[in-house]
């Protein structure tokens, strides 16, 4: 049975053509910056949660008798929770993505 060849998926050439004339590519640059900012945010938040969850599980399931180890687990858990809460503020409050100006 002969296989039918599907046409290759090509980006919209008309959109690429008109993108060249839109404010020297500033809109495309802004979209790229927002996307990269969101990716960095997700990576940082995932790292904070990846540290927080094991610490919470260890702190709640194990009965640790060593006061120094218990103190360190508590401090690291609190620090990871604070980091997970502060990361969105750092990414979106201190460096807001401003709306584009209409001309």
Per-domain boundaries in the chain = 15-92
Site of tokens 């969101």: 38
Site of tokens 């604070």: 82
pLDDT tens by residue, 42-79: 999 999 999 999 999 998 898 888 999 999 999 999 99
Q: What is the pTM of this model?
A: 0.61
């Amino acid at each position: 049975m002969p296989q039918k060849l599907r046409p290759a998926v090509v980006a919209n050439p008309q959109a690429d053509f008109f993108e060249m004339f839109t404010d020297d590519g500033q809109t495309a640059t802004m979209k790229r910056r927002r996307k990269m900012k969101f990716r960095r945010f997700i990576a940082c938040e995932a790292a904070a949660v990846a540290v927080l969850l094991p610490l919470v599980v260890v702190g709640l399931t194990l009965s640790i008798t060593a006061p120094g180890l218990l103190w360190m687990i508590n401090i690291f858990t609190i620090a990871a929770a604070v980091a997970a809460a502060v990361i969105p503020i750092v990414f979106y409050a201190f460096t807001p993505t401003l709306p584009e100006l209409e001309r």
